[in-house]
Each structure stands twice: as C-alpha cells, then as structure tokens.
Amino acid sequence: MPKIAANELRPGMLIEHNGALCRVVASSHVHVSGRGGAGMQVELRAVQGGAKLSHRFRTDEKVERPFVDRRRLQYLYSEGEAHVFMDLASYEQTELGAELLEGAAGYLTPDTEVEVSELDGAVIGVDLPAQVELEIAATEPHIKGATATSSYKPATTSTGITVMVPPFIKQGETVRVSTATGEYLERAS
C-alpha cells in the first residue's frame, strides 16, 4: 500500500489504521512543549461499523493509504443533507450524504474539484484539495490600536465555517484556507 506522511492527512482521506479502513474526520497539528516532538491529532471514523476514534501520529510517521478506485468529481450544490457532484469524465451526477462528508462539507464551494475513493462501486471517501478559497460572510470590523499585538478575529465564511483571520480582513473578501487544519493561509487575489 502507498504511504503518506501523517502531516499530509486532511478531512475525507481514507487510511488504514490498526487493520481497519478509516476516514479522516478532522486533523490538527499539535506540539506539546518539553514532551517530545510535534504531532498530528487525528479524529477517525471506521468505514465499516462507523466507530469513532482519536489517534495521535508523529508528524514524520508514515500512514498507509488503501488501494481503492479513485475518480475526480466536481461539487455542484447541496440539497438538504445530500451534496451533488458531477463526474468530470462522464458528466454523471452523484449524490453523497452528509455522513460521508463529515468535517469536509464546510470547505465545498461550487466548482470545487475533489477526488473520491470507491470500493466495490460505492463511494467510501472524499479527498479535498489542500486549500480552498472561501468568501468571508461576516466578521467584526477592525479597530485601530485596539491591541498591542497582532491577534486574529473569528470570521464566518459563506459555507458556514468559522476561520480565525487577521484583523485587516473585511466582510466580502476572499481568503485561502487550509483544508487540513482549517487555518487562514492568505488573502485570495
């Protein structure tokens, strides 16, 4: 099986952990000072049975990716709990349920391309791009001189997730966000 570094894990990815096929629900980079190196705290959900578990990988640790069929899809829209995608090769539309996109749905905007993993014809995982561009729907205005240090403020995106952004970001601007950590990367041009 192919292996990837633990620090490359993103929501929606499929990995093999302790002999079970699991989907990454959330991942975050953690560092405990004085107690070893940095790591990735990863929340997983077993594909069969749906059991949730949490595991901490060292950042240099290799994680096994299972051999599954993969194809590229483009996100079109959401209708209730269903998310509609189009196959880029055949133009067929596919609906994916909210449980399959757990932790990833907030990063989807129309025309976002994803890679889905299939086992026996059924979609079992969704790989998001490393970063996405999201529009800021609401955030507090910046007040000059309100703090002595550079601090971040919460901003709600058009998809409904909250991202911590620098104080100069205003409502209506578009920002790049990491799908692995959910962190602000930069302003989109």
Q: Where are the domains of the chain?
A: 3-64, 69-127, 131-187
Amino acid 76: pLDDT: 95
Assess contact for 73 and 113: CB atoms under 8 A. Answer: yes
Top CATH class, 69-127: mainly beta
Average pLDDT over residues 16-36: 82
Top CATH class, 3-64: mainly beta
User: Beta strand pairing status for 14-17 and 20-31?
Assistant: antiparallel
Banded model confidence at residue 90, pLDDT cuts 50, 70, 90: very high
Assess contact for 157 and 172: CB atoms under 8 A. Answer: no
Two domains, one topology: 3-64 and 131-187: no
Amino acid 74: pLDDT: 96
Banded model confidence at residue 92, pLDDT cuts 50, 70, 90: very high
Which CATH architecture best describes the domain 131-187? Answer: Beta Barrel (2.40)
Name 15's Cβ contacts closer than 8 Å, sequence gap at least 6.
Answer: 9, 21, 22, 24, 44, 63, 64, 65, 66
In this prediction the pTM is 0.69
Cα–Cα distance for residue pair 56/25, rounded to 1 Å? 13
Assess contact for 152 and 115: CB atoms under 8 A. Answer: no
Counting DSSP H helices and E strands in the chain, the numbers are 0, 16
Structure tokens at 77: 């829209």
Amino acid 145: pLDDT: 61
Question: What average pLDDT is seen over the chain?
Answer: 87
Cα–Cα distance for residue pair 106/134, rounded to 1 Å? 10
Look at 189 and 56; give whichever has higher pLDDT. Answer: 56
Amino acid 151: pLDDT: 83
Cα–Cα distance for residue pair 180/11, rounded to 1 Å? 6
Lowest mean pLDDT among 61-65, 96-100, 113-117, 157-161: 96-100
Say yes or no to pLDDT of 35 above 80: no
Look at 69 and 84; give whichever has higher pLDDT. Answer: 84
